[in-house]
Amino acid sequence: MKILMVCLGNICRSPLAEGILLQKIKTAGLDWFVDSAGTNGFHVNEAPHYLSQRVAKRRGIDISKQLCRGFVPEDFARFDKIYAMAADVLEEMKKISGDKYEAGKADLLLNVVHPGQNLEVPDPWYGPEAGYEEVFVLIDEACNELVKTNSIKK
């Protein structure tokens, strides 16, 4: 299974999602590949936001070595499932991908936990550390469900 997590800048939410899911699949012994990307490309080759790193590190997850990258149309060929953190990110993925967009591969991450509700992971970028904590909890819950669902299918 190859999973891509996508947010706006690949600096706050999607790096957390990548790190959280990587930790969970390692613990579960799953042979998955996980990556993350951003739709705006403003932070390419930068490390994740320091508050994302801090919140992850407190929970034993090191995301400091991740480098932000831009989402590209070819990601639909490379990944089995692509999870967007918010509806605007999903719309940008459609625009960027053009005719390479595959609706069956893309969804909002929180639909894993709340199917069809189209809930979003809020962007903590301008807020205090508490917002990053909230984002971590939401993503952690969705990643738990991803791993659990896959384990049941085995």
pLDDT in tens, 50-85: 999 999 999 999 999 999 999 999 999 999 999 999
Query: Distance of CA 141 to CAs 47, 61, 110, Å?
Result: 24, 15, 9
Q: What is the pLDDT of residue 6?
A: 98
pLDDT above 80 (res 10)? yes
For residue 84, the domain's CATH number is: 3.40.50.2300
Give the number of domains in the chain: 1
The dihedral formed by the CA atoms of 31, 87, 115 and 142, expressed in degrees to the nearest 10 = 40
154 pLDDT higher than 70: no
* Active-site amino acid positions: 7, 13, 123
Which pTM was predicted?
0.96
- Residue 77: the pLDDT is 98
In the chain, % helix, strand, coil (3-state, to 5) comes to 50, 15, 40
Range of the domain at 79: 2-153
Helix (H) or strand (E) holding 5: strand 2-7
First and final CA of the chain: distance in angstroms? Answer: 12
* pLDDT band with cut points at 50, 70 and 90 for residue 146: very high
